Structures are given as C-alpha cells and as structure tokens.
Homo-oligomer: A and B are copies of this chain.
Amino acid sequence: MSVVNTTIEHVAGFRVAGVHAGFKKDGRLDFALVVSDQPCVTAGVFTTNRMQAAPVILDQERLAQNASAIRAVAVNTGCANACTGEEGLSRARQTTQWVGETLGCAPDAVLVLSTGVIGTQLNMNAMRQGIDLAAQSLGHEWFAAAKSIMTTDTRPKLGSVSVTLSNGTRCEIAGISKGAGMIAPNMATLLGVVITDAGLSAEVASRALQAASGKTFNRIVVDGDMSTNDTVLLLANGASGATISSAADEAAFTEALTALCRKLAQDIVRDGEGVTKFITLHITGAPDEAAAHQIANTIATSPLVKTAFFGGDANWGRIVAAAGRAGVPIPPEHTRLWITAGEVEGTTADSLLLFEKGMPTAFSEQTSTAIFRNASVSIHLDCGMGAGEAIVWTCDLSYDYVKINGDYRS
C-alpha cells in the first residue's frame, strides 16, 4: 500500500488559505479556500440523509452540470447552512458568486461546504470577510487550511501521497478532512477535500472516489449518526502533466487515493468525541461484502459493545450477539471470533480465539484483558459462510462522549 505523508508539500496548480472570517466568535480559523489555477475535473460523494444541507444540494447541482470546470471550494465552519430553506440556498449561491468574482471565474465553477450549527442562516458579513482575507493569502499553508475546517476536532487532519504512472510521470494527491466535531445544535459532519495534479477524466475521477471512499470514509463509525452535510470532494487539475489513461494507471491512482482517504478517515475515528480506543473490525466469511459490512456496522454501533470497549472488557458475548442481530443468517456453530492487540487485519500468531462452535473457548481471561487494555484492538469475526469481507474502523463510547453531547448547552 502507498505510503501516506502526514503533511502536504506541494500539489501543482493548487493554492489554499485558512483564515478567521468571523463565523466563530473567539478568533479561531473558521474559513478555508481551496483554489486551482486551472479548471478541475471534480467528483463528489454526499450524505444520503434526506435533510440535505444547502451546500450539499448546490454542489450536487453544480457537479451535474459543470463537473469538468471547477476552480474553487469554499469551506466555512460555525454554521451548517442546513434546515435553512430557500434563504439558505440563496446564501450558498451568493457565496459562490462572491468567490467567482474575487477569483475571476464563473459562480458555477465554485463549490461550497459548511459545517456547524443547524437551522441558522449563514453570516454573510463573515463570508464576505472570509473570501476577501483568504483570496489575499492564497498559498501553500495546508496545515492552516486543515485547521480552519475543524469544529470540535482536536487536531487538523491532512495527508498526501505520490503516484508514479507507468510512463514515469509523477502526480500528487493530497487532502484535508474533519470529523467528529459537534456543534450546537447538531452533529458531527464529515468533510473531505482531496486534490490532485493528475489529469483524470470525469469518469475516472468519479470511479476512483467512489471506490476509495466506499472502503474508507464509508467504513468508519463514531456514533452511527449521519450528518446533513457529509461531503467528500476530489478535484483534479492535471497540472503535473501526469495523465491517467490506462487501466493500470487508474488502478495505481485509485490505490494511492484509497490509502490517503484511509488515513484521513482513520484520523476522524482516532479524534472522535471522547474516544479512548481505536478498534479495527474485520468481518470475513459472510455471504457477500454488503452482508459483511452490515455485520461490522451493527457491531460498531452497538452501545453495549462500545461501552465494553471503553471498560477494557473483552466482552465476546456482546460482539457475537450484535453480529447475531445484524440481519444476516450467520450460523453460530461456524462462527469464530479472535482479538488481537494493535491494528491488524485478520489473524496473526498473537491473536486470541475467544469463540468457536457456538461456545466460548477456554481462553485465559488474563490474556484477553491484557489485549483489551491496549489503545488499539482488532476484532476478527469469521462467519464461516462465504467469501464476503469488510473492514470497519470504530471506537468506544465513553463518559466524555455523553458529556460532549449531553452537556454542552446545559
């Protein structure tokens, strides 16, 4: 798998800025602008929540009409522009108008992302200020850009990866993300902006982003809630001269993109609200991948499983029982469950078998507890049925999760 850097050095033809626009009161960075000098082929994946925020509605409209000529993405925090009706949509359009005028491009070459309070209208004074300040300071400060899209994230999330194509040309892929932040009166929003200086067709961009996000952003669970604003964008401007034109190059690009998205997605789990444990759930032997994913999601969203993780308790019964109610006809007598310290997929020599043949094994409580005391624990459940498998990354449910989400307004 491609090596992902934890910084972003340079992606040809892209500039960014992260500024304090005034959406938040305390002077923190709250607005980011990502700009490409050349039009970008762009793909997006969006929340399937029916209560779609205005930026989600607008971006989908833009990508349907203009997916090969996107020039900029404006991201604000402090306001989700969700549940804001026609007025909210109108303010989102106004934002793209201003960005277009400032950068000298058409409004429909601009996309918008918002995260923050639901049900309040965008502060357009802050927006005007943010656009002006950001346009003046466009450069390569990716760390600041990543920081400016944070909500209650405790650290910025960014990364980059290089791809060498079969003809020897090289391109960069880089991205920023934000996640498990929680803002009155709403919820964690997953946002991701990934850029590349590779040349891609709209079809390849869409296929690569679907494949990568399906295995990464779509495979993380903090609390199982899905936001009104979740969005991941991929912008490709071709400025490196490296063009994806063969199936082999597309595969190499998709692999690298997946590695990057995996890093950005895992960072969201690690920085989830109140998280003390990082859990890798690997389901194998399911009838198909969808069934494996369903089992993994059921385990990952079970409050009983998540509180046991928090307690450092190797509670195999809760994991097996959650798998049993996932809606997949798994046979108890052929189901096996292992745990391993650290982040591993499948089973290693250090794995401990806890359950097989419908019963717990005679495992040592001391060994299982020692494994569960680690900050990272991996669970492997084999259903003994078919070839379907899936990996989901998740976390525990702690006092702090309840505190962050229950107490913040009272």
Q: Give the B-binding residues of A (Cβ under 8 A).
A: 47-52, 82-85, 118-119, 182, 185-188, 223-228, 301-304, 307-308, 310-313, 315-318, 320-325, 328-333, 355, 357-360, 396-399, 401-403, 405-410
Contacts and interface: CB of A to CB of B under 8 A. Distances in A.
A302 B50 contact: no
Contact of A119 (B83, B228, B316, B399): B316
A114 to B, nearest CB: 14
B410 A313 contact: yes
Contact of A51 (B47, B82, B225, B323): B323
Contacts of A188: 304
Given A51-B321, A85-B333, 8 more contacts: A49-B325, A51-B323, A118-B321, A185-B317, A224-B303, A311-B408, A313-B406, A399-B399
Given A308-B406, A321-B186, A358 B85 contact: yes
Contact of A317 (B119, B223, B321): B119
A275 B308 CA distance: 18
Nearest to A320: B51
A311 B402 CA distance: 9
Identify which of A226, A228, A304, A409 gathers the most chain B CB atoms within 10 Å of its CB. Answer: A304
Given A85-B357, A318-B185, A324 B406 contact: no
Given A324-B49, A402-B398, A311 B407 contact: yes
A302 B397 CA distance: 13
Question: Which 4 residue pairs of A and B lie closest in terms of their CB atoms, listed nearest first?
Answer: A51-B324, A311-B406, A118-B317, A307-B405
A301 B182 CA distance: 18
A292 to B, nearest CB: 15
30 contacts: A49-B324, A50-B329, A50-B331, A51-B320, A51-B324, A52-B324, A82-B317, A83-B320, A83-B332, A85-B333, A85-B359, A119-B317, A186-B318, A223-B304, A225-B318, A225-B321, A225-B322, A226-B321, A226-B325, A301-B301, A303-B405, A308-B406, A310-B402, A311-B405, A311-B409, A313-B409, A313-B410, A398-B402, A398-B406, A401-B402
